[in-house]
Amino acid sequence: MLILGIETSCDETAAAVVENGRSVRSSIVASQDEIHGPYGGVVPELACRRHLEVIDGVVYTALEKAGISKSDLDLIAVVNGPGLIGALLIGLSFAKSIAYGLGIPLIGVHHIEAHLYGALMSHEDVPMPAIGLVVSGGHTVLFQMRSIGEYTCLGSTVDDAVGEAFDKVASLLGLPYLGGPLVEKLARKGDRHAIEFPRAMLKKKGFDFSYSGLKTAVLYRIKGYGKRRTDKDKISENEKADIAAGFQEAAFEVLVKKAIKAARKLDANSIVVGGGVSRNLRLREMFDEEAADKGIRVYFPDPELCTDNAAMVAGLAYHKFERSPAGAGLSLTADPNLEFIA
* Total count of residues recorded for the chain: 342
Examine residue 211 and tell whether it contacts ligand KG4 (CB under 6 A): no
Examine residue 308 and tell whether it contacts Zn ion (CB under 5 A): yes
Examine residue 192 and tell whether it contacts ligand KG4 (CB under 6 A): no
Examine residue 113 and tell whether it contacts Zn ion (CB under 5 A): no
Examine residue 301 and tell whether it contacts ligand KG4 (CB under 6 A): no
In this chain, which of 13, 136, 270, 278 binds Zn ion, going by CB under 5 A?
136
CB atoms within 10 A of CB 297: 18
Q: Of 302-341, which residues contact ligand KG4 (CB under 6 A)?
A: 307-308
Q: How far is the CB of 143 from ligand KG4 (least distance, A)?
A: 16
Q: Of 121-180, which residues contact ligand KG4 (CB under 6 A)?
A: 136-138, 163-164, 166-167, 178, 180
Residue 206, beta-bridge partner list: none
Examine residue 32 and tell whether it contacts Zn ion (CB under 5 A): no
**Residue number with CB closer to Zn ion (42 or 104):** 42
Out of Zn ion, ligand KG4, none, which partner does residue 7 contact, by CB within 5 to 8 A per kind? none
Which of 234, 238, 241, 271 is CA-nearest to residue 256? 271
Residues 73-92 vs ligand KG4: string with x where CB under 6 A? --------------------
How far is 200 from 214, CA to CA, in rounded Å? 7
Q: How far is the CB of 122 from Zn ion (least distance, A)?
A: 16
Residue 13 CB contacts under 8 Å (≥ 6 apart), including other chains: 7, 29, 30, 32, 50, 51, 54, 55, 58, 91
Q: Of 266-285, which residues contact ligand KG4 (CB under 6 A)?
A: 275-277, 279-280
SS (H, E, C) the chain: CEEEEEECCCCEEEEEEEECCCEEEEEEEEECHHHHHHHCCCCHHHHHHHHHHHHHHHHHHHHHHHCCCHHHCCEEEEEEECCCHHHHHHHHHHHHHHHHHHCCCEEEEEHHHHHHHHHHHHCCCCCCCEEEEEECCCCEEEEEEEECCEEEEEEEECCCCHHHHHHHHHHHCCCCCCCHHHHHHHHCCCCCCCCCCCCCCCCCCCCCECCHHHHHHHHHHHHCHHHCCCHHHCCCHHHHHHHHHHHHHHHHHHHHHHHHHHHHHCCCCEEEEECHHHHCHHHHHHHHHHHHCCCCEEECCCHHHCCCCCHHHHHHHHHHHHHCHHHCCCCCCCCCCCCCCC
Of 134-142, 189-197, 257-265, 279-287, which segment contacts Zn ion by CB under 5 A? 134-142
Q: How far is the CB of 259 from ligand KG4 (least distance, A)?
A: 16
Out of ligand KG4, Zn ion, none, which partner does residue 166 contact, by CB within 5 to 8 A per kind? ligand KG4
**Residue number with CB closer to Zn ion (113 or 308):** 308
Number of residues that bind Zn ion (CB under 5 A): 2
**Residue number with CB closer to ligand KG4 (98 or 306):** 306
Number of residues that bind ligand KG4 (CB under 6 A): 18
**Residue number with CB closer to Zn ion (136 or 157):** 136
Of 60-68, 146-154, 165-173, 307-315, which segment contacts Zn ion by CB under 5 A? 307-315
Q: Of 191-210, which residues contact Zn ion (CB under 5 A)?
A: none
Q: Of 38-67, which residues contact ligand KG4 (CB under 6 A)?
A: none
The contact set with ligand KG4 (CB under 6 A) reads 136-138, 163-164, 166-167, 178, 180-181, 184, 275-277, 279-280, 307-308
The contact set with Zn ion (CB under 5 A) reads 136, 308
